[in-house]
Structure 1
Amino acid sequence: MGLFNRKPKLPPAARPPLEADERVLAWAAAGNGEGDGVVVASNRGLWLPGRPHRIGWHDILKATWSGRELTVTPAEPVAERDGYLVVADGPAETYLLVDPGDVPHQVRARVTRSVAYTRQHALPGGSGRIAARRVAGVDGLSWTIRYDPGTSPDDADVRAETDALVAAARAATAPADV
């Protein structure tokens, strides 16, 4: 994009309620541009039309860009365990971005950058993905497990194995004492 081809600033009426240390990185009108809202990527997360709060980069399980549409699948907390959350796929949300600008790039880069650890593990009767994510503005990592379909998160053996796997992953990723 040349010097004179810059995208206009985000209109004040479309600006989400940013926190004091939050800044807009990119934005795009959603839909046909006739009041469908805007998608705003900030340094803290993604603001989507119709949502009163942003989705933190660490809370996005999947994001895909088709060349015209951005589809975002947020994590939905299912249970809180000792030191980690059990999450599931929330409803996928798709937005047509006619003039996407830098939004797809920012979404990909920020979601990818939030991942500090991810590994698929076999579990009794199924499997799941353990992940550690960086949370913008917070020290440390946020740990989650997303069980694959058919895996019973309430099964005692699954829970015990998950606890052990998360503990081992935390120990393996802990900073070394110097």
Structure 2
Amino acid sequence: MTGWWARLFGRDPVPDAVAAGLEPSEAVVATATVAGGGTLVVTSWGVWPPSGAGRIGWHEVGKAVWDGNSLVVTPTHAEQIAPGTELLADTRPHRFRLTEAGTVPQAVQDRVTQSIRTRNRRELPGGGAWVLQRKVPGRDGVVVQVRPDPGTDPAAARRLAEGLADRLPGRGTE
């Protein structure tokens, strides 16, 4: 069935575990075989690693880099500062060596970029932080995320996130 599916749709079949976890409005955009086994699945909502660990939503991807052989996806851990405001920290990057990348690298880049509605840079002690407004798949509105650079004073990044949260409608003074 793998050969039939690939000829018909131009991509690898979607693993059963991923197909079972897809949301009704989530569409498969691209797939690629990972060296060593498994399929990397890119959907309208995120990227599904072959490990079966579940989807990494586009709003959870801090960075994605294609080097010509491997796709490196760096997820983030989000600490909710207040409803609609998160302080991010990068987690361990996932490296996927793709046997035939096809459209996967471009699909990942496009969707990470499309999830960002606005981005602004703030200089802080020890470095700086990106302030992002991102669309969360399957939800209305955006989430405000503060992603500090490595070496940035954690307390300064937290104060920035808290200050932004206080300015959101329904919180603090308007």
Q: Same fold (TM over 0.5)?
A: yes
After the TM superposition, which residues 68-147 of structure 1 pair with which residues of structure 2 at under 5 Å, given as runs? 68-77=69-78, 79-82=79-82, 83-147=84-148
Shift of 1:52: 2.7
Paired residue total:
161
CA deviation vs aligned residue, 1:45-65 (integer Å, no higher than 9, x gap): 100011331001111111111
Gaps of 5+ in 1: 172-178
SS in 1 for 2:102: coil
SS in 2 for 1:94: strand
The answer (yes or no) to whether the contact 1:123–1:162 under 8 Å persists in 2 is: no
CA deviation vs aligned residue, 1:17-63 (integer Å, no higher than 9, x gap): 2122222111011014xxx2110011111000113310011111111
The answer as to 2:159 corresponding to 1:160 is yes
Q: Distance in 2 between matches of 1:130 and 1:11?
A: 35
The answer as to 2:23 corresponding to 1:19 is yes
The answer (yes or no) to whether the contact 1:14–1:37 under 8 Å persists in 2 is: no
Amino acid at match of 1:49: P
RMSD over aligned CA atoms reads 2.5
Gaps of 5+ in 2: 1-6, 170-174
The alpha-carbon distance between structure 1 residues 52 and 121, as it changes in their structure 2 partners (threshold 3 A), is same
Q: Distance in 1 between matches of 2:157 and 2:27?
A: 41
What percent of counterpart residues are identical? 34
Q: Distance in 2 between matches of 1:161 and 1:12?
A: 42
The alpha-carbon distance between structure 1 residues 158 and 76, as it changes in their structure 2 partners (threshold 3 A), is closer
Q: Distance in 1 between matches of 2:63 and 2:43?
A: 17
The alpha-carbon distance between structure 1 residues 30 and 164, as it changes in their structure 2 partners (threshold 3 A), is same
2:4 is aligned to none
Shift of 1:143: 1.2
Q: Distance in 2 between matches of 1:11 and 1:90?
A: 26
The answer as to 2:32 corresponding to 1:28 is yes
Shift of 1:160: 3.4
1:10 is aligned to 13
Amino acid at match of 2:42: A
Output the TM-score relative to the length of structure 2: 0.80
Amino acid at match of 1:80: Q
